[in-house]
Structure 1
Amino acid sequence: MSNRTTRRSLIKQTATAAGLVFCHGASPSRLFAAPSPNEKLNIACIGVGGRGVANVNGVQSQNIIAMVDVDENRAAPTLKKFPNPRRFTDYRKMFDTLGNQLDAVVISTPDHSHFHPASIAMQMGLHVYLEKPLAHTVAETRTLTNLAREKGIATQLGAQRHAIPNMHRVVEHIQAGAIGKVSEVHSWINGNRGMPSIPLDSPPVPSGLDYDLWIGPAKSRPYHPSFCPYGWRFWWDFGTGETGNWGCHVLDIPYWALGLKHPSRVDAVGPAVDDQRTPTSMHVTFQFAESNQNSEIVLHWRHGSPDELLRQHRIDGEGMNTVFIGSEGILACGFDTLKLYPEEKYADFRAPSPTIPDSPGFYQEWIAACRGDDAATCHFDYSGPLSETVLLGNVAYRAGGFDWDADGLKTGTNAEAQSLIQTAYRKGWEVV
C-alpha cells in the first residue's frame, strides 16, 4: 500500500473504501443515515495502549468493531479485555477493510500521528474523538477544524476535565461578574518535565512493534525507548512538550470563561531552545483583542509555578492552576478548587445560581452528538482555536514572538515562526 495521499485521491480512496459513489459536485460526506438514538455506534479505536486505554473504556458501551495499534505488547491488556474487535496494525488497512461499517473513530495516538488518521476518517464522514492537542501543528489543527465543520461531523477533543462541575462554577462566577471586569489571567502547570537525554545507544526494535508505522509522517530516526513508547512527548518531531500535554486542559478554563478564540500577539521566554527536545519550563504571553469582557485580555501560560504572583496576592496555590485578575477582585481555581480574594471582601459572597448543566459524561456527550443530538462541549469549533493557541505558544518559544494573523495563518514578519506553522512530512506521507 502506498503511503502517499493527495486531497483528491483521499476522497476517492475513502469513498471507495466506504462503498460510496458521488455525483459530480456532490459533497464527499456519508450518504447513509446516522444511527438511531437506540442503536449502538460502530467504532474503531486507533491507539489502544497508554491514553488509549481510558478512551476505549470510555466508549465500551458502543460496538467497538476494530482496534488498531502498532505495538502488540503495549496494546495487549486492552486486546485481552476486548477480544472480539478485529485487530489491525495499520489504520489505513482498517479503513480500507471496514470503512463502510464504521460510524466513528477514537484516535489516541502520539501527537505527530493525529492528523493523518483523523483526516482520512473525516473525509469518509466518520465522527471523531481525538486526543489533545488536536494535532501536531497549527495548520493541521485548522485543517481538521474546517473539515469537521464542512462535513457536519460530531467531534470531541480529549479535554475531559471540561465536564468537571467545578469548571462550570468557575465559568459562572467569571461571567456573572463576581470579580468585575477581567483583564489578565495566569495559568500554569507545575513540574519540570522535558529535555530528555540524547540517546547514545541503538537498541533493537522490540518484537511486536512496527516502528516504521509508529514513526509515520515524522522524520525517521533509529528506535530508542527514550521516545517510544512514551517519551515522544518531549521531542519536537513527535510531541508538543508539557505545554501541549497540559495546555488544552488548563487553558480550557479561561478560554471558556472569557469567550476567547484567537490571540493577536504571542510572546514567550524560557531556557535556551533545543532543536530536538522540549523545555523544562517556559512562560508564554498571549494577547487577545476580543473577549466577552468587551476588552483586551492578557493570558499568561507557564510551564512552572508562578510563585511571585501567588505571593503578591497571598494566594494559596494548593490545587490551583489559574488566577483571574478582575477590577473588583481575584478568582483562583483549579479543576476542583475555587477561591475568591481578598478573602475578607468575599467572606459573605453568595455564588451565582448554576446555569451550566452537568455533563452526562464526557464520552456520552460525543456519543449522543454522533446520534444527532447537540454538539459535544469540546467540539472542534471550540477546541480547535484552543489547540491552535497552545501550539502557538510553542512556536513563540522556539522562534520568538510575533503578531498573529489567524485568518491567514501568518506570523507577521517572523519567518522562522512561520516555518513552524506547518512542518514537512516524511517522504511517502505527504498531503498535497
Structure 2
Amino acid sequence: MKSQISRRDALKTTTAAAAGMAFYHGALPRRISAAESPNEKLNLACIGVGGRGTANVNGVSSQNLVAMVDVDESRAAGSFKKYASPERFTDYRKMLDKLGKDLDGVVISTPDHTHFHIAYASMQLGLHTYLEKPLAHDVWETRTLTDYARENKLATQLGNQRHAMPNMHRVVELIQSGAIGKVNEVHCWIGGSRGMPAIPEDTPPVPAGLDYELWVGPAEKRPYHPSFCPYGWRFWWDYGTGETGNWGCHILDIPYWSLGLRYPSHIDASGPEVDAERTPKSMHVTYRFDQTNQNSPLDLHWYHGTPEVLAQRGISGKGHNTLFIGDDGMLLSGFDKHELLPEEKFADFKRPEKSVPDSPGFYNEWIAACKGGDAATCNFDYSGPMAETVLLGNVAYRTGGFDWNAKTLSAGNNTKAQSLIQTAYRKGWEIA
C-alpha cells in the first residue's frame, strides 16, 4: 500500500495509456469503449458516501455499484443500508488495489483537501472520474487533474449539478443572443456569513467508527474536533476553501458559460482581516478577463455577502445570485429564475429560440461519456479553468492582488500568492 504518488509513475502511466493501457500497481483496468453497447452498465466505486456523497451515490445508482468507501461509518450508514451489495472499504487505496482492475469509474465526494490524491490515484488506473467541486484544494492540483484527464482521454464531470437546470440554459441563450447588448461587467454573490468558526479549546475523543488519520490524509493534522470533522472543515484553510469554494463554481458557472471565459489576467480581493487558519465571513474578489466572447475585456466580481451594486441600481437580489450589466440592459439571474431589466424596456421582448439542448440528467451525461458518448457538460476541460479561478480568489484575498499567467501558473511578483498555488503535503503523502 502506498500513499505517495510519484511523477515517474504518472509519466509511465501517460505513456502506457497512449498504447491503450494504464498501469497502477501492475493492474490492467477494464475499460468500456465507444464500440461497446451503451446499454452496458458501468462498474463504479463511490468514495465518500455520506453527506453530499449520498446524493451522488443515488445519482449513479442505475449502474453497478461495486464498492463504497468512507472513513466515517456513522455518516455513511444511510448509503450502506440502502445499498447492501457493494463491497465496503475504509481506505480508498485498499479498494483500488483490490478492485481497481474491475472498475470503469469512480465518484468522489470527500472533503476538498483529499480530492487530488484520490482522483489522481484513480486516474492512474484509467478510471473515469466524477468529482465534487471545487475540483481540488489548490490551483496546481486542479490543473494537474485537468491536464491528466485530457491527455488520457478520461470522461470527467465536476459536481456542478445546477449546470443542467433549464433556467441556466435560457440565461446563456439570452446573453449570447445579445439581449442586453455587449456585457461589460458581471456581479455574482452568495449571501450569509458562514466562516471564522471558533478555535477549539477542548480535545474530545475520536468517535467510534471514524478513521481520523485517513480523514486528515495529506493535510496538516490537528487533534480531532467536531468543529471541522465531519462538516465544518470547509471553513478551515487546511481542509476547505470557504464559502467561495463551496458556492463559487455553482454561481460563476453562468457567466463562464455565457461569456466564454477561461482564465483571468488579474485578480484583486478585499475583505476582513485575514486569518491564517480560518476562512472569512465575507469577501469581494474582482477578476479581470482579457478574452471573452464579447470582443472586449470585462470584470467579473464575486462576493461572499451582498454587493453594493444592487442597492445602487435599486435592484432586489432576493432569490438571485448573478447580475449581468450590458450596454442595452441588465439580466438578473438565480438558479431557477431570471429577469431582464429594466422591466419596462423588455415588456415586449421576443426571446431567442432555444439553442441549448436539455440535459438528459447531470449524472447521465457523465455515464454516457464513460461509455464513449459526448463529453459531459462540466468535464474538466470546461470546469477546470473555472475551479482554478474560484481558488485564485481565495489566494488574492489571503495575499493581495496579482497578475496571473495561466500558462505558467505564475502570480507575478506576489511571492505569497505563489506559495499558495501549490501547497505542501504532510509526511507520507508527498508528491515525489
Give the TM-score category using the shorter length: over 0.9
Contact 2:5–2:121 (Cα < 8 Å) also in 1 = no
Q: Which amino acid aligns with 2:383?
A: S
User: Residue 332 of structure 1 corresponds to which residue in structure 2?
Assistant: 332
SS across alignment from 1:156: strand
User: Residue 387 of structure 2 corresponds to which residue in structure 1?
Assistant: 387
User: Residue 368 of structure 1 corresponds to which residue in structure 2?
Assistant: 368
1:77-117 Cα shifts (integer Å, max 9, x gaps): 11011011001111011000001100000000000000001
Contact 2:101–2:125 (Cα < 8 Å) also in 1 = no
Quick one: structure 1 residues 179 and 10, their matched pair in 2 at CA, closer, same or farther if it must change by over 3 Å?
closer
User: Residue 321 of structure 1 corresponds to which residue in structure 2?
Assistant: 321
User: Residue 113 of structure 2 corresponds to which residue in structure 1?
Assistant: 112
1:350-389 Cα shifts (integer Å, max 9, x gaps): 1111100110000000000000110000000000000000
User: Residue 406 of structure 1 corresponds to which residue in structure 2?
Assistant: 406
Distance 2:139 2:41 in 1: 34
Contact 1:286–1:298 (Cα < 8 Å) also in 2 = yes
User: Residue 17 of structure 2 corresponds to which residue in structure 1?
Assistant: none
Distance 1:31 1:231 in 2: 37
Contact 1:133–1:244 (Cα < 8 Å) also in 2 = yes
Distance 2:275 2:24 in 1: 44
SS across alignment from 1:417: helix
User: Residue 222 of structure 2 corresponds to which residue in structure 1?
Assistant: 221
* 1:19 is the counterpart of 2:19: no
Distance 2:369 2:320 in 1: 32
TM-superposed deviation, 1:319: 1.0
What is the TM-score of this pair, normalised by structure 1?
A: 0.96
User: Residue 311 of structure 1 corresponds to which residue in structure 2?
Assistant: 311
User: Residue 184 of structure 1 corresponds to which residue in structure 2?
Assistant: 185
1:261-314 Cα shifts (integer Å, max 9, x gaps): 0000000000000000000000000000000001001000000011x3112222
Distance 2:191 2:24 in 1: 48
Distance 2:245 2:32 in 1: 36
User: Residue 290 of structure 2 corresponds to which residue in structure 1?
Assistant: 289
Quick one: structure 1 residues 338 and 203, their matched pair in 2 at CA, closer, same or farther if it must change by over 3 Å?
same
Distance 2:323 2:191 in 1: 14
Q: Which amino acid aligns with 2:124?
A: Q
User: Residue 277 of structure 2 corresponds to which residue in structure 1?
Assistant: 276
Contact 1:262–1:385 (Cα < 8 Å) also in 2 = yes
Q: Which amino acid aligns with 1:15?
A: F
1:91-144 Cα shifts (integer Å, max 9, x gaps): 011000001100000000000000001001111111000000010000000000
User: Residue 40 of structure 2 corresponds to which residue in structure 1?
Assistant: 39
Quick one: structure 1 residues 257 and 12, their matched pair in 2 at CA, closer, same or farther if it must change by over 3 Å?
closer
TM-superposed deviation, 1:431: 1.0
Distance 2:337 2:10 in 1: 46
TM-superposed deviation, 1:6: 1.0
State the Cα RMSD in Å.
Answer: 1.4
Distance 1:30 1:405 in 2: 38
Q: Which amino acid aligns with 2:102?
A: Q
User: Residue 265 of structure 1 corresponds to which residue in structure 2?
Assistant: 266
Percent of residue pairs identical: 69
Structure 2 spans left out of the alignment, 5+ residues: 14-21
Distance 2:26 2:249 in 1: 33
Contact 1:70–1:211 (Cα < 8 Å) also in 2 = yes
Contact 1:185–1:298 (Cα < 8 Å) also in 2 = yes
User: Residue 301 of structure 1 corresponds to which residue in structure 2?
Assistant: 302
TM-superposed deviation, 1:394: 0.1
TM-superposed deviation, 1:147: 0.4
The residue correspondences of 1:246-261 to structure 2 (distance < 5 A) are: 246-261=247-262
Distance 1:9 1:386 in 2: 28
TM-superposed deviation, 1:31: 7.0
Distance 1:164 1:2 in 2: 41
Quick one: structure 1 residues 30 and 410, their matched pair in 2 at CA, closer, same or farther if it must change by over 3 Å?
farther
TM-superposed deviation, 1:10: 5.7
TM-superposed deviation, 1:7: 2.5
Distance 2:101 2:26 in 1: 4
TM-superposed deviation, 1:33: 3.9
TM-superposed deviation, 1:342: 1.2
TM-superposed deviation, 1:38: 1.0
Distance 1:360 1:247 in 2: 24
Number of positions where the alignment pairs a residue of Structure 1 with one of Structure 2: 423
* 1:417 is the counterpart of 2:411: no
User: Residue 16 of structure 2 corresponds to which residue in structure 1?
Assistant: none
Distance 1:353 1:9 in 2: 50
TM-superposed deviation, 1:223: 0.4
User: Residue 431 of structure 2 corresponds to which residue in structure 1?
Assistant: 431
Q: Which amino acid aligns with 1:151?
A: N
Q: Which amino acid aligns with 2:431?
A: V
Contact 1:11–1:123 (Cα < 8 Å) also in 2 = no
SS across alignment from 1:114: helix
Quick one: structure 1 residues 53 and 198, their matched pair in 2 at CA, closer, same or farther if it must change by over 3 Å?
same
User: Residue 100 of structure 1 corresponds to which residue in structure 2?
Assistant: 101
User: Residue 23 of structure 1 corresponds to which residue in structure 2?
Assistant: none
User: Residue 65 of structure 2 corresponds to which residue in structure 1?
Assistant: 64
TM-superposed deviation, 1:9: 3.7
Q: Which amino acid aligns with 2:346?
A: Y
Contact 2:30–2:103 (Cα < 8 Å) also in 1 = no
User: Residue 90 of structure 1 corresponds to which residue in structure 2?
Assistant: 91
Higher mean C-alpha deviation, range 167-176 or range 1-10: 1-10
* 1:346 is the counterpart of 2:346: yes
TM-superposed deviation, 1:150: 0.4
Quick one: structure 1 residues 37 and 334, their matched pair in 2 at CA, closer, same or farther if it must change by over 3 Å?
same
Distance 1:11 1:46 in 2: 25
Contact 1:18–1:99 (Cα < 8 Å) also in 2 = no
Distance 1:133 1:262 in 2: 15
What is the TM-score of this pair, normalised by structure 2?
A: 0.96
User: Residue 159 of structure 2 corresponds to which residue in structure 1?
Assistant: 158
Distance 1:304 1:19 in 2: 49
TM-superposed deviation, 1:32: 6.8
* 1:167 is the counterpart of 2:168: yes
Contact 1:30–1:124 (Cα < 8 Å) also in 2 = no
TM-superposed deviation, 1:4: 2.4
